[in-house]
Amino acid sequence: MTLQVPKYLLALLATASLAACGGSSNNDDGGDNGNPQPQQPEAIDIQVTQASRTLDNRLPCYQGTGDAACNLRIYQVMVESFIDGDPDANYGTGYGTSHHNGDIAGITASLDYIKSLGMNAIWLTPIFESIPVSGQSQWVDRLDATGYYTSDYFSIDPNFGTLEQARELVEQAHAKGMYVFFDGVFGHHKGNVVASPEGRTPTNGTAISNIGYESEYPTDLEFYKEVATYWVNELNIDGWRLDQAYQVPAEYWDDIREAVEEASADPENAYSFAGETVQPLGYMVAEIWRGAGDIAAQGYGMEASPALKSAFDFPIRYSVVQTFAVEESGNGNRDASNLDTGFFAHLAYPEHAKPNLMLGNHDLVRFGDLLQRGDIANPSDAEYWARHKGAISFLAAYSGPITLYYGEEIGDEVPNFADRIENCTGDTGLCDDHVARTSANVEGIATTVGAEPTVLTSEQSDLKNYVGQLMNIRAANPALYNGSRTHIHSDADIYIDRKDAGDNHVLYLVNTKDNDVNLTIAGSAIGSDGDLINLMTGETLAIAGTEYTLSLPAHSAAFYQISSPTAEGPQLGSGGEGANLTGTGPLAACDAPDATEAGPLGTEMYIRGTYTGGEGFGATPASHQFSYKGDNIYQVVIDETTPTAYTFKFAAPDWSFEYAVEDSAAVDIGQEQIMTQAIGPGTESSILIPEAGSYVYSFAINAALDGGTMMVSKCE
């Protein structure tokens, strides 16, 4: 929940996600506002002769160790809007368009369906009791239904069900081979918190919009440790999703995490998981809706003293929706290379990080509504369903835990959402924060008590079956969820990775655009000299001489097992590691003296972005302030102590000037690039700093003050 954050800041934080850029920002992809095109897509030919780059594979989920957390396939449920299975447990109000009567019994009834999707875990939004206060507004009633401002952390909200129903849910999920995660709100609470079994209550710190209060640390640490371990001991839950984790100082997250890990390791808490006796998983994942630098600092903590070990991968999430659809700002439909740029974010994380990738959640716009917001496709179009498949295939190929929000597996959307938006305080509260909170449609289960069981359309059923197939392939191939990543190739249309874990080697390809693509791939580029086995169809793709030829239809993906990997592995090209980072000319000068006259912009200019200390574009630190050097050139030298990556603009404090690389492309270090105006969210550029050192950031403004040239160069 981020309701207290101003909408404009939310937009900046969202689009500030690291590596959110890297391709064209226009929406001219052949979309037709819902009218199917009778002609066949244009076919293009692409040759792949050398692998591009081996990503830094130092994170745990890239090392093939068999870490159970890396194999998590989590299905997120918004409890109040999911399935109504108990007529006695109803809120009857809430945000968004759902029935607002969802409950624990409805989730239990849906477990077989969730299992059929190939998921092995569920995450419930908070189910602890929110007690009304006298005279509270309808708006607060709705907030109670979300569970994100809790009154009694040790009781199940009767509007969701009972303790025994919660116990039954956890036990049945475990019996079916699915972990269960609760939602922990450990940084804020309602003002009427009930004392814990040990007599503790949290501090009513800074007030939050007459709703509740922020907690205070270290004063409240023992209270929240008690909460976090209580439910591991009481119900054998497997861990927590951590709401607004930045509200808890990172130095105290390790105390809570270690308490959960200790409780999870207690032999008394062992349980039967699909017939096997196991301990609770003890997994904790942070929600920090910010750039990679802030996620690292506020969630993961220091390498020498880890805070949390997993956080949602908002940076790559934005790369995914920008590429396969648009982000919430409407910016997107970018080149496939934007997906590769997204991985730059991981260089900002410490070595214990296990990022968790999602396509959406209850605070984001559904992927189907983003497709319509970008005028790309409607549910009546085949492209609508194909783009869902492409985006979800990327999740399936991601090393690390992944999360699928309920309804994404059947392409859910809010009909005519764009025409129905109103202020969040209105009667329905339909806005970007709440649009994803739609009534669940679970095949064979009635959405509300007494209704007819849901029957999926042919398109919904096809997508659901595809998701199930993808997740089963992922589960059977450790290279996908716990394997190293070698980026083979990406361009405007195509993205290709090789994944490796032990003796499991998988080639992942996805076509992100409208063109059919004919591919010729050199065996040396992917490190293969034998058959490729299509993991979705079982068909064999033989090598012809030294090359493979295949076709990849528009918006489709493919997974191939490499049956005969070469000892050399993929052969890296000149665009990979070791490229020259030092440019030439005046924009590469690291010691140019300051000019005595003022620059033509007539204002201070800064690098504003998602680097640590940049506060998600909000800060203008002196360390990132440009100096005017004369000849229309502005420069600042930044000392980068470690490899890192972030998104940025060159901007004035009042945003009167905003610039980035043309088309919001990524920075090519050591090369002069065209700079243009970059106004509003979603127009920033990304940069990967591959090695520590001093770097000069320079731009030369043109006479019209609407662009020019720029360069980032390493100082010798």
3-state secondary structure of 558: strand
Res 279: pLDDT: 98
Nearest to 560 by CA among 399, 343, 397: 397
In this structure, the number of other CB atoms found within 10 A of the CB of residue 673 comes to: 18
Res 460: pLDDT: 98
Res 525: pLDDT: 95
As a whole number, mean pLDDT of residues 416-430 equals 61
Residues 6+ apart with CB under 8 A from 643: 56, 347, 689, 690, 691, 692
Q: Which residue has the higher pLDDT, 115 or 618?
A: 115
Q: Categorize the per-residue pLDDT at 540 as very low, low, confident or very high, splitting at 50, 70 and 90.
A: very high
Structure tokens at 388: 């869902």
Beta strands per DSSP E along 573-692: 606-609, 627-630, 633-640, 644-651, 658-661, 673-677, 685-689
Residues 6+ apart with CB under 8 A from 415: none
pLDDT of 602 over the 60 cut: yes
Res 344: pLDDT: 84
Res 41: pLDDT: 61
What does the alpha-carbon distance between residue 388 and residue 462 come to, in Å, rounded to a whole number? 11
What does the alpha-carbon distance between residue 229 and residue 258 come to, in Å, rounded to a whole number? 10
3-state secondary structure of 413: coil
Residues 6+ apart with CB under 8 A from 241: 123, 181, 182, 183, 184, 284, 285, 287
How is domain 586-714 classified at the architecture level of CATH? Sandwich (2.60)
What does the alpha-carbon distance between residue 539 and residue 633 come to, in Å, rounded to a whole number? 58
As a whole number, mean pLDDT of residues 501-519 equals 96
- Lowest pLDDT segment from 3-7, 450-454, 619-623: 3-7
Nearest to 15 by CA among 242, 342, 404: 342
CB 215 within 8 A of CB 188: yes
As a whole number, mean pLDDT of residues 618-622 equals 95
Res 577: pLDDT: 42
pLDDT of 23 over the 70 cut: no
Q: Which residue has the higher pLDDT, 342 or 154?
A: 154
Res 40: pLDDT: 56
Res 421: pLDDT: 65
The upper half-sphere exposure of residue 386, i.e. CA atoms within 13 Å in the direction of its Cβ, equals: 21
Structure tokens at 249: 């100082």
CB 552 within 8 A of CB 583: no
The answer to whether the bond into 379 is cis (omega within 30° of 0) is no
Name the pairing type of β-strands 516-522 and 43-48: parallel
pLDDT of 12 over the 60 cut: no
CB-based burial, 204-242: b 16+ in 10 Å, e otherwise: bbeebeebbbbbebeebbebbbbbbbbbbeebbbbbbbb
CB-based burial, 374-400: b 16+ in 10 Å, e otherwise: bbbbbbebebbbbbbbbbbbbbbbbbb
The pLDDT > 70 percentage for the chain reads 91
As a whole number, mean pLDDT of residues 162-182 equals 98
Q: What is the pTM of this model?
A: 0.85
pLDDT of 209 over the 90 cut: no
Res 420: pLDDT: 65
Nearest to 526 by CA among 576, 554, 490, 562: 562
Mean pLDDT of the chain: 90
pLDDT, tens digit, 9 for 90 and up, residues 115-156? 999 999 999 999 999 999 988 988 899 999 999 999 999 999
Domain boundaries, the chain: 586-714
pLDDT of 17 over the 50 cut: no
pLDDT of 428 over the 60 cut: no
Q: Categorize the per-residue pLDDT at 169 as very low, low, confident or very high, splitting at 50, 70 and 90.
A: very high
How far apart, in Å, are the Cα atoms of 441 and each of 55, 84, 180, 415? Answer: 39, 11, 21, 14
The CA-to-CA distance between both ends of the chain, in Å, stands at 46
pLDDT of 475 over the 50 cut: yes
Q: Categorize the per-residue pLDDT at 44 as very low, low, confident or very high, splitting at 50, 70 and 90.
A: confident
Q: Categorize the per-residue pLDDT at 10 as very low, low, confident or very high, splitting at 50, 70 and 90.
A: very low
How far apart, in Å, are the Cα atoms of 159 and each of 80, 231, 632? Answer: 9, 19, 64
In this structure, the number of other CB atoms found within 10 A of the CB of residue 251 comes to: 13
What does the alpha-carbon distance between residue 695 and residue 712 come to, in Å, rounded to a whole number? 7
Q: Is 35 exposed, middle or buried (0-12, 13-18, 19+ CB in 10 A)?
A: exposed
Task: Please name the helix (run of DSSP H) or strand (run of DSSP E) that holds residue 464, with its range, or none.
Answer: helix 458-476
Res 611: pLDDT: 87
As a whole number, mean pLDDT of residues 4-11 equals 24
Structure tokens at 317: 């999430």
Tell me the sheet residues that pair with 688: 645
Residues 6+ apart with CB under 8 A from 25: 331, 332, 334, 663, 664, 682, 683
As a whole number, mean pLDDT of residues 401-411 equals 98
As a whole number, mean pLDDT of residues 250-256 equals 97
Q: Categorize the per-residue pLDDT at 28 as very low, low, confident or very high, splitting at 50, 70 and 90.
A: very low
Q: Categorize the per-residue pLDDT at 36 as very low, low, confident or very high, splitting at 50, 70 and 90.
A: very low
The 8-class DSSP code of residue 187 comes to S
Q: Categorize the per-residue pLDDT at 579 as very low, low, confident or very high, splitting at 50, 70 and 90.
A: low
The pLDDT > 90 percentage for the chain reads 76
The 8-class DSSP code of residue 419 comes to G
As a whole number, mean pLDDT of residues 442-447 equals 97
Res 107: pLDDT: 98
Res 138: pLDDT: 86
Residue carrying the six token digits 């050139």:
633
As a whole number, mean pLDDT of residues 540-557 equals 96
CB 278 within 8 A of CB 270: yes
Res 60: pLDDT: 96
For 309, list phi and psi in degrees, rounded to 5: -110, -5
pLDDT of 37 over the 60 cut: no
Q: Categorize the per-residue pLDDT at 416 as very low, low, confident or very high, splitting at 50, 70 and 90.
A: confident
How far apart, in Å, are the Cα atoms of 304 and each of 301, 307, 350? Answer: 9, 10, 9
pLDDT, tens digit, 9 for 90 and up, residues 51-82? 887 766 899 999 999 999 999 999 999 999 99
Nearest to 382 by CA among 494, 514, 537: 514
Q: Number of helices and strands (H, E) in the chain?
A: 15, 33
